[in-house]
Amino acid sequence: MAYLFTSESVSEGHPDKVSDQISDALLDHFLAFDPESKVACETLVTTGQVVLAGEVKSHTYLDVQNIARTVINNIGYTKGEYQFSGDSCGVISLIHEQSQDINQGVDRSTKEEQGAGDQGMMFGYATKETKNYMPLALDISHKILQVLADLRREGSQIPYLRPDAKAQVTIEYSDNNVPQRIDTIVVSTQHDDFDLDDIMLAKIKKDIISILIPKVISQFPEHVQQLFNDQIEYHINPTGKFVIGGPHGDTGLTGRKIIVDTYGGKGAHGGGAFSGKDPSKVDRSAAYAARHAAKNLVAAGVADEILVQVSYAIGVVEPTSIFVDTYGTSNLDLSDGKIAEKVAELFDMRPFAIEERLKLRNPIYLETAAYGHMGKEPRIINKVFESPYNGRIEKEVELFTWEKLDKVEEVKSVFSL
């Protein structure tokens, strides 16, 4: 029997994502000026206020207030009527030094023996459903909000948009798990205030369906475009006016959108958030490594859909387990347990090995903090960091290294594909 599956995404102006971006901007600055920094930074945003907290061990010192304000302004919170602006909000820093009890479990005399920064389990997932090996409902949800943000910044076609927004997509699947059609699309977007509620709400719905959605459709291949149809049920700002939003409408916290950040409810999640954490925290680095493994395995043809789990004990170098689930889609005459044994041989999951393989001790994290950490295109960019205490530094960095299909040939060789 056919079934429905739903995923959601949130915009860069959603209060939780504002918090994530501030935390990752701080992390990037610490790593830019001191690549060995140990950082676990949390951010809270609310009406007119930003609170920074967490533990840091670093040889550098930052103007954290200025970094937070720059992020907020770049997102688009620049006007007083938003009740939250980078130029006017208060910024309180409660960041302190990392506990030595934690640090002693991570640092070793040789970097190769670096222990895991915490216990826990992390998951990576990949599927042949899309060209970036991501679940389709999440991929479309992200794209809706990225295009909405582009329209907001461009300003002429939909001039009343504000930064806070959410999207949700429901897809109908066949019995054999193939997408058949898009059933429902939900978009809630913050907007400027207006007098004629009914007229303006009707205009917002019309603009979203006639301006935004066609731009979204055009960014997908033909077989995905065909899933969009005249029978889609649209819920556009279903509660009515959405003027009060962002951190003024809802307090935001780092790490509250972990399903948006990963696979939209597909696969599994170990519960650990990413943003604000340096790569010694396996919550982040091992989740990236598991995604890297899952994506290369699917791309090599091991299975059409794969979940990889890796787990750790704090301070211990080797992972405590590696698990693989192919959901019955394996193309091999091997059990999932045997596949997992070969994955352990192919992908070194020791914390320092992950850092080295994926180049994680670089300032690459702000770009991950909105519209998902997985499924984006790897690329090399130049980033500039300025500090009144450390001067100016320009670094060439490679983003989204865990999305590279650089192990496909090796996987094929090991599995005789």
Helix/strand/coil (H/E/C) assignment for every residue in the chain = CCEEEEEEEECCCCHHHHHHHHHHHHHHHHHHHCCCCEEEEEEEEECCEEEEEEEEECCCCCCHHHHHHHHHHHHCCCCHHHCCCCCCCEEEEEEEECCHHHHCCCCCCCHHHCCECCCEEEEEEEECCCCCCCCHHHHHHHHHHHHHHHHHHHCCCCCCEEEEEEEEEEEEECCCCCEEEEEEEEEEEEECCCCCHHHHHHHHHHHHHHHHHHHHHHCCCHHHHCCCCCCCEEEECCCCCCCCCHHHHCCEECCCCHHHHCCCCCCCCCCCCCCCECCCCHHHHHHHHHHHHHHHHHHHCCECEEEEEEEECECCCCCCEEEEECCCCECCCCCHHHHHHHHHHHCCCCHHHHHHHHCCCCCCCHHHCCCCCCCCCCEEEEEEEEECCCEEEEEEEEECHHHCCCCHHHHHHHCCC
On whether 257 is known to bind a ligand per the annotation, the reply is yes
Identify the pLDDT of residue 196: 72
Give the model's pLDDT for residue 104: 53
Point out which residues pair with 240 in neighbouring strands. none
Spatial strand order in the sheet of 90-97: 90-97, 49-57, 38-46, 252-253
Q: 72-130 pLDDT, tens per residue?
A: 999 999 988 888 999 999 999 999 886 554 555 565 556 666 778 788 999 999 999 99
Predicted confidence band of residue 28 (pLDDT cuts 50, 70, 90): very high
Q: 273: annotated binding-site residue?
A: yes
Q: Binding site annotation covers 231? A: no
Q: Please tell me the predicted confidence (pLDDT) of residue 321.
A: 97
Could you give the C-alpha distances from 281 to 70, 71, 207, 360, 406, in angstroms and in order? 26, 23, 43, 11, 24
pLDDT at 111: 65
How many Å apart are CA 355 and CA 351, to the nearest integer?
Answer: 6
Q: Is 98 annotated as a binding residue?
A: yes
**Residue 391 scores a pLDDT above 60:** yes
Bridge partners of residue 380, in order along the sequence:
398
Among all chains, which residue has been given the structure tokens 């610490």? 30
142 labeled part of a ligand binding site = no
Is a pLDDT exceeding 70 seen at residue 338?
A: yes
- The answer to whether the beta carbons of residues 79 and 285 sit under 8 Å apart is no
Residue 230 has pLDDT above 70, yes or no: yes
Assign 195 a pLDDT band (cuts: 50, 70, 90).
confident
Maximum Cα–Cα distance across the chain: 68
- Identity (one letter) of the amino acid at 368? T
Whole-number Å distance between alpha carbons of 389 and 370? 29
Distance CA 162, CA 195 (A): 17
* Choices 3.20.20.70, 3.60.15.10, 1.10.3720.10, 3.30.300.10: CATH for 3-8+137-245: 3.30.300.10
Q: What are the residue boundaries of the structural domains of the chain, listed by start?
A: 3-8+137-245, 15-109, 120-128+267-272+281-414
User: Is the pLDDT reported for residue 44 higher than 80?
Assistant: yes
Find where tokens 């919550």 sit. 283
Is residue 30 predicted with pLDDT exceeding 90? yes
- Fold match, 3-8+137-245 / 120-128+267-272+281-414: yes
Count CB atoms within 10 A of the CB of residue 195.
6
pLDDT, residue 112, reads 63
What average pLDDT does the segment 346-360 reach?
Answer: 96
Percentage of residues of the chain with pLDDT beyond 90: 86
Instruction: Encode burial over 222-261: b for 16+ CB neighbours within 10 A, e otherwise.
Output: eebeebbeeebeeebbeeeebeebbbbbeebbbbbbbbbb
404 is in an annotated binding site: no
Torsions phi, psi for 59 (to 5 deg):
-90, 5
Which amino acid would we find at residue 415? F
Q: What's the fold here for domain 120-128+267-272+281-414?
A: GMP Synthetase; Chain A, domain 3 (3.30.300)
| pLDDT (average), residues 243-249 | 89
Across residues 33-45, what is the average pLDDT? Answer: 96
- Name which residue leads in pLDDT, 111 or 347: 347
Length of the chain equals 417
One-letter identity of residue 103: N
Pairing status of strand 305-312 against strand 252-253: unpaired
Q: Position 206: which residue type?
A: K
Phi and psi, residue 344, nearest 5°: -65, -30
Dump pLDDT digits (tens) for 208-223.
999 999 999 999 999 9
Looking at residue 348, what is its pLDDT? 96
Is 241 marked as a binding-site residue? yes
- Residue 111 is assigned to a ligand binding site: no
Q: What is the mean pLDDT of residues 13-34?
A: 97
Question: Residue 317: is its pLDDT beyond 80?
Answer: yes
Give the pLDDT confidence score for residue 198 in this predicted structure.
Answer: 83
359 annotated as a binding-site residue: no
d(CA 219, CA 211): 14
Report the pLDDT value the prediction gives residue 344, as an integer from 0 to 100: 96
**CATH number for the domain formed by residue range(s) 15-109:** 3.30.300.10
As a whole number of angstroms, the distance between CA 101 and CA 1 comes to: 54
